Amino acid sequence: MKTSELIHKLDIPRHKLYYLEQKGYVHPKRIPMGDLEAREFSKQDFERVKLIWKYLQRGFRHKSAYQMASEELKTGKPALRE
């Protein structure tokens, strides 16, 4: 999934997505396109970003959001009751 698709589907700001990548929370594949690089996000990256973004929108800091998203991906249960 390309960056623009992920941004559109999750309604996450581009700078937030890039910050998650910078922190090492997601690892999109980089595809050279001339002088630029495109990012290709896997289904796993998409799910991780979706959950991190859910917790960020609830007011959690990035590290906490990442930890709760990771736990939810591992157990299949939300870290917080919905």
What is the structure's pLDDT at 46?
A: 96
Integer Cα distance of 52 and 25 in angstroms: 9
Quick one: pLDDT at residue 44? 94
The reported pLDDT for the residue numbered 21 is: 95
Over residues 11-22, the pLDDT tens digits come to 999 999 999 999
pTM of the model: 0.89
Closest CA to 3 of 54, 41, 33, 31: 41
Query: What is the amino acid identity at position 68?
Result: M
* pLDDT at residue 82, as a whole number: 54
Which residues of the chain carry a pLDDT beneath 70?
Answer: 81-82
The Cα-based distances of 57 to 29, 31, 39, 41, 53 in angstroms read: 26, 30, 24, 21, 6
